[in-house]
Amino acid sequence: MSSTVEDIRKDIRLRAEMDSMMSNVWLIVYVLPVIIAGILVTAVVLSVIAAMATFPYDPYAGDALAFGFIAGGIALVALLLVLSFVLSLILTYKLIQRRNTHFKRQAFLLEDLLKAAKAIAAKKGVDAETVISSGERTIRDAKAEETEKGAFLWAILSAIIPLASWYVNYFLMKDFYKHERREDGFWEDLGRILDKLGITISMERRIEPIPDRSFVLYLILTIITLGLFGIYWLYVLLKDPNEHFKYHIKVEDQLLGSLESAI
């Protein structure tokens, strides 16, 4: 019994490295191309102004200034383009990887929670097999649907193929929504199991559950706003898992405390 609870404790400790909170600072990746375009336009405008300021007195000096502004602008733009590409790769990789690691950790945790419930039921001589089987079915469904996505592969594809980046946004948005709904069903089953075992726990409701966001609507809005809506789309992909992880911190600590006191 104590080894089962220790396994749960280990699963919970893993969230520090497997449930990665991501800052909204990552939005700069989406804004960076706009900054690059602004720099290029500014360089062209300054070169024209420089040429006009020296003409007709010293046309050669004007050309030199104009060339300097354009060359400097192009060099800065090239540097920022490389930076934008690299940051885009890192961002997509991190978004997909934290999906993979959280789903994996959650599968371990749910399995160990059911093991603990079975052990307590056997110890108390309580028949909770019907409710436990419902939780086991949830775990099987999660394993079938929450398969690992190749983070590095999809990061590369997203950087060079727009359709691939849209697909990544699609599964990141939908997978977390389905995961959360499935998880809520498991928490309900676990609550019923614990009630049968005489263990009382009042689990907090989610303050901000992940909504079933429309991929088609988000895509259309991104296209008709010439990409501006994509800033909000990225904000959602950062925020929703963060809120999901914050809820885990509360619920997992409550569950662990209840199981430890029951043993």
- Number of separate domains in the chain: 1
- Report the pLDDT value the prediction gives residue 37, as an integer from 0 to 100: 62
Q: Is the pLDDT of residue 107 over 70?
A: yes
Q: What is the pTM of this model?
A: 0.84
- Report the pLDDT value the prediction gives residue 2, as an integer from 0 to 100: 66
Query: Is 163 inside any structural domain?
Result: yes
Task: Indicate the residue type of 148.
Answer: E
Query: Is 218 inside any structural domain?
Result: yes
Determine how many CB atoms are found less than 10 A away from the CB of residue 23. 8
Query: Is 101 inside any structural domain?
Result: yes
Query: Is 102 inside any structural domain?
Result: yes
Q: Is the pLDDT of residue 262 over 80?
A: no
Query: Is 54 inside any structural domain?
Result: no
User: Which letter does DSSP use for residue 189 in this model?
Assistant: H
Share of the chain above pLDDT 90, in %: 37
Confidence of residue 195 (pLDDT cuts 50, 70, 90): confident
Query: Is 40 inside any structural domain?
Result: no
The mean per-residue pLDDT over the stretch 123-132 comes to 79
Q: What are residue 21's phi and psi, to 5 degrees?
A: -75, 135
Give the separation between CA 214 and CA 233, rounded to whole angstroms: 11
- Report the pLDDT value the prediction gives residue 36, as an integer from 0 to 100: 64
The mean per-residue pLDDT over the stretch 234-246 comes to 95
Query: Is 68 inside any structural domain?
Result: no
Selection from 135, 141, 137 nearest residue 188 by Cα: 135
Report residue 39 as tokens: 């720099």
- Report the pLDDT value the prediction gives residue 219, as an integer from 0 to 100: 94
Token pair 């988000």 is found at 218
- Report the pLDDT value the prediction gives residue 58, as an integer from 0 to 100: 47
User: Which tops the pLDDT comparison, 46 or 193?
Assistant: 193
Chain segment 13-23, per-residue pLDDT in tens: 998 889 999 99
Query: Is 60 inside any structural domain?
Result: no
- Report the pLDDT value the prediction gives residue 221, as an integer from 0 to 100: 94
Q: Is the pLDDT of residue 84 over 80?
A: no
Residue ranges making up the domain that contains 256 = 2-13+91-262
Q: Is the pLDDT of residue 202 over 80?
A: no
Strongest mean pLDDT among 4-8, 40-44, 128-132:
4-8
